[in-house]
């Protein structure tokens, strides 16, 4: 039986400045409490119905995966490697929970050559606590491409899930175990 994760508070509000501009929905899980915030643009680019029907359910699933890791698992993490795994697991869980969710651009933002270059850059700082710029790695900055952390994390977790369990079963697996599958590919 899984440990009790408790009640998660989910706050929803209209605030386009906190959404992913391409979809009109944004979300965040508080790394201390596991509570979730969801933001929706008043006028999403593809319309409100598409934002609510297509992107909102997956965003909630993504954040609830984070909440589970924070509340009873290894947590979100303090290293780049842990963050890659947390984001990759959450995106794989999103597809598991809502398989009709369209392919997300942040999970496939890198070419194979870019991914290899980013992975080489990441390897030296994977395990350094607080030794990376989260914003740059996940939203672009410096010489890190936009959404590189999401794409790399998705592929890191994908390598693990190919030979192991589902994303929902892996919610409590530590980052080292998941990273080992990617390193060994």
Whether residue 126 has pLDDT greater than 70: yes
- Per the DSSP assignment, residues forming a β-bridge with 11 are 37
pLDDT value of residue 110: 97
Query: Is residue 5 classed exposed, middle or buried when 0-12, 13-18 and 19+ CB atoms within 10 A define those classes?
Result: middle
pLDDT value of residue 1: 42
User: What digits encode the pLDDT tens for the residues 55-98?
Assistant: 999 999 999 999 999 998 899 999 999 999 999 999 999 999 99
Q: Average model confidence (pLDDT) for the chain?
A: 93
User: What digits encode the pLDDT tens for the residues 25-62?
Assistant: 999 999 999 999 999 999 999 999 999 999 999 999 99
User: What digits encode the pLDDT tens for the residues 147-158?
Assistant: 999 999 999 999
| Strand arrangement, sheet containing 36-40 | 10-14, 36-40, 25-29
- Other residues' Cβ atoms within 10 Å of the Cβ of residue 96: 16
Give the CA distances from residue 12 to residues 15, 22, 78, 103, in Å, rounded to whole numbers and listed in that order: 9, 19, 26, 24
Beta strands in 2-99 (DSSP E): 10-14, 25-29, 36-40
pLDDT value of residue 185: 56
Q: What is the largest CA-CA distance in the chain?
A: 45
pLDDT value of residue 80: 97
pLDDT value of residue 4: 61
């Amino acid at each position: 039986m899984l440990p009790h994760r408790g009640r998660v508070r989910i706050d929803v509000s209209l605030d386009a400045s906190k959404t992913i501009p391409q979809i009109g929905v944004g979300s965040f899980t508080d790394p201390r409490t596991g509570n979730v915030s969801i933001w929706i643009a008043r006028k999403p680019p593809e319309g409100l119905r598409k934002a609510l029907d297509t992107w909102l359910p997956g965003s909630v699933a993504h954040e609830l995966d984070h909440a589970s890791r924070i509340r009873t698992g290894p947590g979100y993490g303090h290293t780049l490697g842990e963050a890659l795994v947390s984001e990759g697991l959450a995106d794989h869980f999103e597809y598991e929970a809502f398989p009709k969710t369209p392919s997300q651009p942040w999970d496939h933002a890198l070419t194979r050559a870019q991914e290899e270059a980013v992975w080489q850059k990441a390897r030296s700082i994977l395990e350094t606590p607080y030794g990376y710029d989260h914003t740059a790695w996940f939203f672009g900055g410096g010489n890190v491409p936009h959404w590189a952390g999401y794409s790399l994390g998705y592929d890191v977790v994908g390598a693990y899930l190919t030979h192991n369990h589902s994303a929902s079963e892996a919610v409590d697996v530590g980052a080292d175990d998941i990273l080992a599958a990617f390193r060994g590919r």
